[in-house]
Amino acid sequence: MNALRIALAELWGLFVEDATLTIGTLICVALAAFVIPRVVIGAQWRGPLFFLAIVVMLLENVYRGARRP
Amino acid sequence: MSWLHASTAFVAAFLASLVECVEALTIVLAVGTTRGWRPALLGAAASAIFLVILVAIFGPALGRVPITTLQLIVGILLLLFGIRWLRKAILRAARVIATHDEAKIYAEETALMRSAGGASTRAHFDTIAFLACFKAVTLEGLEVSFTVIAIGAGGSLLVASLGAALAAVLVIMLGFVLHRPLSRVPENTLKFTVGIMLTAFGIFWIGEGLALPWPGEDLALLAMIALLLLFSALAVRIARGRARTTAPS
C-alpha cells in the first residue's frame, strides 16, 4: 500500500510541481474550450490566441517564481 | 502524418528519453559500483519488463479512445508535463534555482548505498540495491513511456518509439564504456529544448482536440517551437532581472 502511495505521488509529481502553473495552464485550456470559440470572430485566430495565453501565463509565473525570498 | 510532424516527434522523443536515461544510468552506476552489478542490473531489467507489461496493457486500450478525445487528454497532460520542465529550465538558466548535477547525485547515491548495509553475498541477495535500481528505472521509464505515447498520439508512435529506443541504446552503450555518470551531457540545455518541444506538442494537440484551427496546419508546430524559444529566452532575462532586484542585500 505504501509503495502504491509513493508511485501515485511520483506520478502526480510528473505533471504538478508548482500549483499556480498547473491551475494557470488548466484555466487557459478552459478558456480555449469555452470562451475563445464564443468571443473570437475569426476562426483562424483561435489557436494562436490559445498559444499566446499559455505564453503570457508562463512569463507571469516565471516572473513570480524568480522572486528571491 | 507529414515528414515534418514525424521528424519533430522523433527529435522530441529522442531528447526527452536521453535526459531520462542519463538520470536512470546515474543511479544504476552508483548502485552497481557500490553494491555489486548483479542486483543493480537485475533491478534495471525487472523494471524494463514491468514497463513493457504496462505499455502492453495500456497501449492498445488507447486505440479505443476517439482520436479527438485522446488528443485533448494527451495534449493537456503533455502541456502540464512540458511546461513544468520549461519553467524549471528557465529558472535554472537564470540561476534562480540550482542546475541538475549528475556527478553530485552520483556521489550522494553512492554514499547512501555504502551506508545502507546488507550488501550482496553468495547466500544473500541485495534487496536494497535491486529496489533502488528498480525504482529509479521505473520512474524515469514511466516518463519516457508517457512522453513517447503522448508525442506519438497523432499517428507517429512508431517514429517516437524509435527516437526513444535510440536514446536508450546510446546511453546504455556509453554507460558500459565509460562506467561513470554522463555529467558532461548539457542536461539543462536538453531539458530546455525538450520542455519547449513538449509544450508546443501539448498546445498543438489541445488545439486539435478542441477543433481550434492552426494557421499552416502542421507548420504551426514549428512556428510554436520557434516562438517558445524566443519567449523562453525573454523569460530567462526577466527571471534574472527579477532575482537581482529582489535579492537580499
pLDDT over 60 at B122, yes or no: no
What is the average pLDDT value for chain A, to the nearest integer? 86
Q: What is the CA radius of gyration of chain A?
A: 16
ipTM (interface predicted TM): 0.90
Average pLDDT over residues B75-85: 92
Tens of pLDDT, residues B4-17: 778 888 998 999 89
Average pLDDT over residues B233-237: 94
Whole-structure pTM value:
0.82
Q: Does B82 touch chain A (CB under 8 A)?
A: no
A33 contacts on B by Cβ (under 8 Å): 210
Question: Comparing C-alpha atoms, which of A28, A33, A30, A35 is closest to residue A52?
Answer: A28
> Which pLDDT band holds residue A68 (cuts at 50, 70, 90)?
low
Q: Does A36 touch chain B (CB under 8 A)?
A: yes
Number of neighbours of residue B14 by Cβ within 10 angstroms: 20
Tens of pLDDT, residues B61-73: 777 888 888 889 9
pLDDT over 70 at B40, yes or no: yes
pLDDT over 90 at B189, yes or no: no
Residue type, B2: S
Q: Give the C-alpha separation, B150 to B229, whole Å.
A: 21
Q: Give the C-alpha separation, B226 to B136, whole Å.
A: 33
Of residues A25, A54, A66, nearest to B91 (C-beta): A66
Average pLDDT over residues B36-54: 90
Q: Does A22 touch chain B (CB under 8 A)?
A: yes
Grid coordinates in use for B197?
Answer: 518541444
Average pLDDT over residues B219-228: 93
Question: Comparing C-alpha atoms, which of B232, B184, B221 is closest to residue B85?
Answer: B232
Q: Give the C-alpha separation, B67 to B70, whole Å.
A: 5
A39 contacts on B by Cβ (under 8 Å): none
